[in-house]
Each structure stands twice: as structure tokens, then as C-alpha cells.
Amino acid sequence: MAIYCGRVAAREKRTVLELLRRVAEKEGWTIVGVFAERHGQSGPEPRLEWRRLQRLIEAGKVDVVAVPSLDAMGDVVSDLLAEIVWLQNLRCDLYVHDVGLNTVSPVDRVLFKVVEAIKAVDDAAAPAVQVSALRPRPRVRPLEPTPYQRSVIRSAISSGLSLGEVAKSLKLPVASVRAVAKSKKP
């Protein structure tokens, strides 16, 4: 069993560790290690302690991970779901203290199935979001100025106003004003 605290504030870390140690003692779990990120840690590899813990899980040395809350494992929901599914695939149970979830018990094992289903939906939705973000937007052509606006544009330009000033006063794109100024159409 391992305790992972994530980014718990220093003043709370001692309390959290004591709570999780008492749970481990009550459950009869042997603590292999305590992993806590340094508060404010950042950089290319901000979760060094989580990576260390992952290596122990992959080596089969940890069979239960205890966390104070789910947000200790990650901030982004899709990443959190991936981590929980990863734990399940390696047959590593999860104890979440703040909600009293313990996947060692058969009842709470349902969490793994629910998370698996949510992750499948999230994964299925992700490509649709990415595709729509990459799809080029159709070019919207500005509306043609009305005949009245055309006459105002011509008279304003002949009186010496710039294209920008005319466009701003009529709330039209400069390109539309320029097109009217160049056209021979009345």
C-alpha cells in the first residue's frame, strides 16, 4: 500500500498523512511508501512523486493507493479518468479518504466500471471536438451596402472623407466601402 498526497499544502500534509496511516493500520495494509509532491512544484515534469509511485505499481510492489481526495491525483477530469483506469488495469486498488471509497471492497469496485464507461464516452467525444476545431470555418461575405448607403459612400468620399472614416460612420467593413468607391454601379 502507498499513500499519495498530490499537492497538499504543507500545513495540511501532516494531518492528511496521519489520517491515511490510521486507515492503513485499521485495514491491515503495510505502507510501502509515502509520496507527496512539493507544493508549487512545476516544470517539465511537475508530478515526480506520482511517476515514482507509478514505477512501483508497475513493478507489482504496490497493490493499494490511498489518496486524501480525487483531486490529489489530477486537475483535469480526462487525466484523472485515465489514471483510475490505469490503476484498474494493473490490478491496483484505490482508497479515496474524503468520500470513503475503497475499491478493495466488492461494492466499491463498481467505481472502476463506472469510470471505464465515463472514459469511453469522454474518449469518443474527444475526436469530435478536435475535428470540429480543425474544420475550416466558412467565409462569410459581408452584406452588400444598400442603394442609400452606396449614395452616402460616394458623396462622403467625394467630399474628402477617407474610406476608414466612411466605413466607421456607416458601420460597414472598409472592403465594402472600397468596393463601392471603385464600382461604376450607381
Q: pLDDT-derived band of residue 126, with 50, 70 and 90 as boundaries?
A: low
- Mean pLDDT, the chain, whole residue set: 81
pTM of the model: 0.59
Query: Average pLDDT, stretch 117-143?
Result: 64
Answer whether residue 41 shows pLDDT above 60: no
What's the domain count of the chain? 2
pLDDT value at residue 54: 92
93 and 37 part of one domain: yes
pLDDT in tens, 11-37: 888 888 899 999 999 989 999 999 988
Mean pLDDT on 145-172: 89
Residue 170 predicted with pLDDT over 80: yes
Reported as a pLDDT band with limits 50, 70 and 90, residue 136 is low
The reported pLDDT for the residue numbered 53 is 92
Q: How far, in Å, CA of 9 to CA of 185, rounded? A: 71
Residues 44 and 116 in one domain: yes
Cα–Cα distances in angstroms (integers) from residue 169 to residues 46, 82, 175, in the given order: 53, 55, 14
pLDDT band at 43 (very low <50, low <70, confident <90, very high): low
Asked if the structure places residue 142 within a domain, the reply is no
Please report whether residue 162 resides in a domain. Answer: yes
CA nearest to 3, candidates 14, 149, 17: 17
- Asked if residue 81 and residue 19 are part of one domain, the reply reads yes
| Pairing verdict, β 93-96 and 101-102 | antiparallel
Q: Which pLDDT score is estimated for 114?
A: 79
* 132 or 138, higher pLDDT: 138
User: Is 97 found in the same domain as 48?
Assistant: yes
Q: What is the CATH number of the domain that holds 41?
A: 3.40.50.1390
The reply to whether 49 and 95 lie within a common domain is yes
Q: What is the pLDDT of residue 120?
A: 76
Whether the predicted pLDDT of 128 surpasses 70: no
Expressed as residue numbers, the domain containing 169 is: 147-182
